[in-house]
Amino acid sequence: MYRVIYYTDKRGNSSVEDFICSLQLKVRAKVLKWLELLEEHGPNLPRPYADSLRDKIRELRISHSNLEIRVLYFFWKDKVIVLTNGYFKKDRRTDISEIERAISCMNDFITREGW
C-alpha cells in the first residue's frame, strides 16, 4: 500500500489540495476514488487511470462528464506519492506549463525533504 500526501510550499500552502477541495462534490468524490486506486496500486496503476509524463512526473487521469481532470504527482522514498498540482485539461496535449510546475514542486520538495 502507498500513501498519498499533498505537496506544500514553504509557507504551508497546497495548491493541489485547494484544487481538489474546490471541485464539485461528485467530481471530488471521483478524484478521491482514483487517489484510493493510486494508493492501492502505486506505479502499477495502468492507463486509463494513470500515465507517465517526464522527469519522474506522472498524471492521474480523471474523466467526469465533459471534464478532463489531471492531478500530477511523483513517487518519493518508500511508497509515498506526492501530489503536486491539479488542473482541467482543455487540449489533447498535456499542458507543458503544468508539467514544469510539477517538476518545480518536486525539486523544491526534494531540496527541503531530501531524496
Return the CATH number at 90.
3.30.2310.20
pLDDT band at residue 45 using 50, 70 and 90 as cut-offs = very high
Q: Provide the residue range defining the domain that includes 12.
A: 3-113
Number of domains comprising the chain:
1
Read off the pTM: 0.95
Measure the CA–CA gap between 106 and 2, rounded to whole angstroms. Answer: 18
Task: Give percent above pLDDT 70 in the chain.
Answer: 100
Which pLDDT value is given to residue 94?
Answer: 87
Task: Return the DSSP state at 38.
Answer: H
